[in-house]
Amino acid sequence: MRLTNQEAFEKYASEAQERWTSKFGGDRWVINVGISECSKAKGALDTWSNLQLHLDNSGLDYELHQVGCAGWCFAEPFIEVFAPDSPGIVFQNVVTDLVPELVQAFKTGDFPVEHAMGVRGDESFKGIAPLNEHPFLKGQHRLLFKRAGEIDPDSIEEYIANGGYAGFVKALLQMTPEEIVHEVKESNVRGRGGAGFPAGIKWESGRRTQAWPKYVVANSHEGEPNVFKDRRLIESDPHLVLEGLMIACVALETPHGYNYIGGEHVLALARFQHAVDQAYELGLLGDNVLGTGKSFHMRVRSGGGAYICGEGSALMYAIMGERGQPRTKPPRSVEEGVWRRPTVLNNTETYAAVPSIINNGGSWYASIGTEQSKGTKLVTIQGPVARIGVAEVDMGYSLRSLIEDIYGGAKEGYTLKGIQMGGVSAGPLRMDQLDVGIDFESLEEVGAMLGSGGFVAFDESICAVDFARYLTQFNRYESCAKCTPCRLGNKALLEIVDKVRNGQSPNEVAALIEATSENIIDLSLCGLGQVAPMPLLGMMKAFPDEFEAHFRDGTCPQGQCPVSQPKLRLEPVAAD
Amino acid sequence: MAHGAPASEIDLQPLRTILEDRYNPENYQDSLELIVQACQEAQHLYGYVPKAATEAIAEHLGVSTNRIFGLLTFYADFLTDEPGEHTMLLCHGTACYVGGSQKLVDHLDLRYDVTSGKTTRDGTLTVQIVNGCLGVCDLAPVAQLDHHDYCGHLTVESFEGLMDTLRSESKAATVEDSDETD
């Protein structure tokens, strides 16, 4: 079906809404199973087929649906059960072995409290507390993740039934491109990839450039070793990102949109491509969209596993089928980007915020967050904490509260030592430094960095020197080798750290590290090199005693570095 | 998904069909944009990107094989050598590091002389160390075997157990021509 005008879209939307509300009424059991990359890894597909088997045998009248991931990785695989005349109940860690027990209980009208995570709505139900009061969700403010885990990511109809594409239709039919840019500017939404550049200003300069064609590109590369927010967002609600991109196309008056997704995000790639296909089918993409005479086209491009391709100019070279190596700036990408044409490039999360800005107005969005950092931020945390997952909090939310309340503090048997901030581009914060807000300015003040919102908790058993070596090694490996300071400087830095780890610190090693770092920071061409030594310098600042022990005594207090290992013996593979 | 098809047995027909179905560039610009994805299709089909496949892609898209090799050697996802019987993506993201993946990386290097992209000497396993993140941090340290099975909370011991299983499977498969397993 192809929608040819606004009335047709509105008719489709209201029908979709009706179908959505009638889905949960009646005498049928509706069961949603969260299927995403992380739940698949934990056996969600087995849960799915076992549910099917047992529900078939139980004689219950049921429907099984796929939904995306809701950010609660710790609770995967999860199912949500809508019994007749009951609110939705989320059950956590429903591994396939648990299915028979659960189905048996459902048959007798019983909902096992011990496996339940919570119930939708504000009131308790049969002893199960509301989901919103679950410690993981209580402090969160879900704007982008609003639909995640509730709708089928492969269904454009369910997205539209829940208010989807209303922002695109409004932008296309009721607003001038200038008005769209004005709203985005007023919202002051800033680049979520880490740089924090205001998106509205970028869009405005994109409009001002007089060269055609222009391109709109989403950066969903997400190659950092500790972030998975964009991937989960696309896996759970691909149309939200697509809608944001399409609104940017309307604002820039260009038909050309791209989404560059990292090649390792297999499911996200497939779901986004599917979303694009559905939008074409419905006539939201293509030529003469909704009878306006305007065209919008979207291309999905995938990367090949190079971290550097998350850098703006490298990403554009990657799209153009070249080795993804950055170039000097200016010209900036809004002047010369993909195919040397004006290109507006934003992070996936930035685009995902746009539909709600158009629907509710820029000033509404600007009322969320702090003075200078607006809106909500998706954050992910990894390491030994009680609950791992993607959380969405207001900018300025306390980091301590995030770690201790939402993520539940240290996992049993672990004592946290610090939090590595800003991916691989900044230093860590010690546990006594956590009383700081999560926003661009506050974190910069304490010498950390918001980055793309990936935090890694590490415990007392981790040696700061070894961890710093890991982070330096990552940057060295991922250096694209185009400019010498980054290619050779990081290698030199790694060699120094390796000597330290082996208990053979050269004289004045701290000064040597600082001087080498300074050269790399000052002389490198792109953002990767300019921040590559930061984790090492940050670690040195945060844990000076540990570094001192390595430098002076040649010992590793944590016993992790080679200096304290028993002599390694080589054992060749036994021939058989 | 086939793994480790020897170079002489590469059947290019499936690749050609995919290329003809879905890779139809309108101009040279489009051709360039499609190279990486076309190579991913080839890797998906054969487990690596054989030389014959790059030639087929070059011919279909109208680009040079040099350019394709330039990309294959830059992007870490691609294998240009024939992989072993199994392929493992070993996650070495920060969460996995905190969980102890460095021990696995060192173990692979010391015991099997295997670094990223290389194959064990008996041809059982090719390891690709993923510097990014597999995104299943709840299972850290984690590896993905043959692109669908996840092995979570890996230790050196559980990795050795996995290797034993893989080796005994391959031995069972080649029991008849046992002369070849030296």
What is the ipTM for the molecules in this complex? 0.90
Q: Chain B: give the shortest CA distance to residue A367, in Å.
A: 32
Do A310 and A224 meet the contact criterion of CB atoms below 8 Å apart?
yes
Q: What residue in B sits closest to A269 (Cα-Cα)?
A: B37
Q: What string of H, E and C letters represents the secondary structure of chain B?
A: CCCCCCHHHCCCHHHHHHHHHHCCCCCHHHHHHHHHHHHHHHHHHHCCCCHHHHHHHHHHHCCCHHHHHHHHHHCCCCCCCCCCCEEEEEECCHHHHHHCHHHHHHHHHHHHCCCCCEECCCCCEEEEEECCCCCCHHHCCCEEECCCEEECCCCHHHHHHHHHHHHHHHHHHCCCCHHHCC
Any domain includes A16: no
Any domain includes A349: yes
Range of the domain at A408: 376-459
Computed over its alpha carbons, how large is the radius of gyration of chain A? Answer: 25
| pLDDT at residue A282 in the model | 96
Q: A57 and A94 share a domain?
A: yes
CATH at residue A269 = 3.40.50.11540
Domain segments of chain B as ranges? 7-74, 86-172
pLDDT tens-digit readout, A225-254: 888 999 999 999 999 999 999 999 999 999
Rounded to whole angstroms, the Cα distance separating B57 from B47 reads 16
Query: Into how many domains does chain A fold?
Result: 4
Out of B70, B111, B131, the one facing A474 most closely (by C-beta) is: B131
pLDDT tens-digit readout, B125-151: 999 998 888 888 888 899 999 888 899
pLDDT at position B7 over 80: no
pLDDT tier, A573 (very low <50, low <70, confident <90, very high otherwise)? low
pLDDT tens-digit readout, A8-38: 999 999 999 999 998 887 789 999 999 998 8
pLDDT at position A291 over 70: yes
Out of B29, B122, B136, the one facing A339 most closely (by C-beta) is: B29
Q: What residue in A sits closest to B71 (Cα-Cα)?
A: A323
Rounded to whole angstroms, the Cα distance separating A375 from A369 reads 5
**Least confident among A38-42, A145-149, A565-569:** A565-569
Rounded to whole angstroms, the Cα distance separating B86 from B148 reads 12
Q: A320 and A427 share a domain?
A: no
Q: A532 and A485 share a domain?
A: yes
* Range A148-168 average pLDDT: 96
Q: A174 and A302 share a domain?
A: yes
Rounded to whole angstroms, the Cα distance separating A223 from A265 reads 10
Q: A398 and A305 share a domain?
A: no
Q: A470 and A455 share a domain?
A: no
Q: Six-digit token pair at B148?
A: 């669908």
Q: A110 and A50 share a domain?
A: yes
Do B140 and B101 meet the contact criterion of CB atoms below 8 Å apart?
yes
Which residues neighbour B108 within 8 Å (Cβ) at sequence distance 6 or greater? B90, B114, B115, B127
pLDDT tier, A301 (very low <50, low <70, confident <90, very high otherwise)? very high
Q: What residue in B sits closest to A475 (Cα-Cα)?
A: B131
| pLDDT at residue A193 in the model | 85
A17: phi then psi, degrees, rounded to nearest 5: -65, -45
Q: A116 and A219 share a domain?
A: no
* Cβ contact, residue pair B74, A324, below 8 Å: yes
Q: How many residue pairs from chains A and B have C-beta atoms closer than 8 A?
A: 159
Any domain includes A11: no
Q: What residue in B sits closest to A481 (Cα-Cα)?
A: B74
Do B93 and A307 meet the contact criterion of CB atoms below 8 Å apart?
no
Domain boundary among A459, A486, A501: A459
Residues 117-146 of B with CB under 8 A from A: 120-122, 130-140, 142, 144
Domain boundary among A336, A366, A396: A366
Residues of chain B positioned with their CB less than 8 A from the CB of A301 = 33, 36-37
CATH at residue A64 = 3.40.30.10
Q: A207 and A295 share a domain?
A: yes
Domain boundary among A138, A164, A185: A138
Residues of chain A positioned with their CB less than 8 A from the CB of B37 = 301-302
Any domain includes A347: yes
Residues of chain B positioned with their CB less than 8 A from the CB of A303 = 36, 75
pLDDT tens-digit readout, B21-75: 999 999 999 999 999 999 999 999 999 999 999 999 999 999 999 999 999 999 9
Quickly tell me which residue has 């597999």 as its tokens: B134
Residues of chain B positioned with their CB less than 8 A from the CB of A71 = none
Count the Cβ atoms, other than its own, within 10 Å of residue A243: 28
* Cβ contact, residue pair B77, A305, below 8 Å: yes
Do A221 and A303 meet the contact criterion of CB atoms below 8 Å apart?
yes
- Give rounded-to-5 percent helix, strand, coil for chain A: 45, 15, 40
Which residues neighbour B1 within 8 Å (Cβ) at sequence distance 6 or greater? B44, B45, B47, B146, B147
Q: A41 and A122 share a domain?
A: yes
Closest listed residue to residue A9, CA positions, set A164, A202, A239 = A164
CATH at residue A548 = 1.20.1440.230
* Range A347-370 average pLDDT: 96
pLDDT tens-digit readout, A37-52: 889 999 999 999 999 9
Rounded to whole angstroms, the Cα distance separating A489 from A527 reads 14
pLDDT at position A310 over 70: yes
Q: Please give the mean pLDDT across all residues of chain A.
A: 93
Conformational region of residue B58, where left means phi above 0, alpha means psi within -120 to 50, and beta covers everything else: alpha
pLDDT tier, B181 (very low <50, low <70, confident <90, very high otherwise)? very low
Percentage above 90 pLDDT, chain A:
85
Paired residues of A63 in beta bridges: A30
| pLDDT at residue B1 in the model | 41
Q: Chain A: give the shortest CA distance to residue B146, in Å.
A: 13
Q: A389 and A418 share a domain?
A: yes
* Cβ contact, residue pair B36, A225, below 8 Å: no
* Range A484-494 average pLDDT: 96
Residues 73-102 of B with CB under 8 A from A: 74-78, 92-95, 97-99, 102
- B6 vs A113, which has greater pLDDT? A113
Mutate one of B105, B137, B171 to test the A interface: name it (highest A CB count within 10 A). B137
| pLDDT at residue B178 in the model | 47
Q: Report whether CATH 3.40.50.1110 matches the domain B86-172.
A: no
Q: What string of H, E and C letters represents the secondary structure of A460-505?
A: CCCCHHHHHHHHHHHHHHHCCCCCHHHHHHHHHHHHHHHHHHCCCC
Q: A196 and A306 share a domain?
A: yes
Residues of chain A positioned with their CB less than 8 A from the CB of B102 = 466, 470
Any domain includes A381: yes
